[in-house]
Amino acid sequence: MAEGALSGKVVVIVGATSGMGLSAARACLAEGGKVVGVGPPETPESLASELGPEARIVRGDARDSATARDAVRQALQAFGAFHALYHVAGGSGRSFGDAALHELSDEGWDETLRLNLTSAFYSNRAAVEQFRRQGGGGSVLNMASVSAYSFSPRHFGTHAYATAKAAVIGLTRAAAARYAPEGIRFNALAPGLVETPMSRRAVSDEAIRAYVARKQPLDGGRPGTPADVDGAAVFFLSDASRFVTGQVLAVDGGWSVTEAG
């Protein structure tokens, strides 16, 4: 993939103000792209200045159907174009009551799916609406997880989260099939354990870190960093992946192919 892979591209990143989304925003800017990032209402004013003149920040709740549409409008107003969407927003539902099935509360189920699946539906729909209006295709990249298909019940037994991420994969592949004739591509990333604000519980637990050292054996058996995911994100958002759709790429340090006790 050549340097400047996103030169001339305008990318909307939903969930761009922390963790993997913020790292991706910086990577897209470094590759010559322009970025409209969506973050929560409490996002500091200073972040837009920190990212530079080729970035804009839209404050809003990804669980609100208007937020992604507003971000797409902002992209068109600020930069005159819209080429790609990266949906990163989501997170743990433990605080709502997500758990194993026999312990999972109604609120835990509903709120975890709203945070991780409904938000992705809203942003994917907003992207498709605009791509179809303007013609010429586009790229949608969704954030899934190895939790969707490679399970670790002892340490990561949150069933609403696993369900939501599996559904994100289903949405991605169904949309890829439907919109391929229009040149609109849909792909997903499935990270393993990555050090972000969401994973603070896991990475600070000695037993889980020992487990991850066996389960993600690449590069010394460590949790991933957001930067480990950036290269794959840039690939899917750029024209380098113009002949790729409906794919789910594990960026997981070997998690999904490794047996660990």
Active-site annotation, residues = 161
CA distance 214 to 152: 13
What backbone torsions phi and psi does residue 188 show, to the nearest 5 degrees? -140, 150
Residue at 75: amino acid letter: A
CA distance 53 to 256: 39
What is the SS3 string spanning 174-207? HHHHHHHHHCEEEEEEEECCECCHHHHHHHCCHH
CB 11 within 8 A of CB 84: yes
CB 27 within 8 A of CB 233: yes
What backbone torsions phi and psi does residue 38 show, to the nearest 5 degrees? -100, 130
Alpha helices in 196-245 (DSSP H): 200-203, 206-215, 226-237
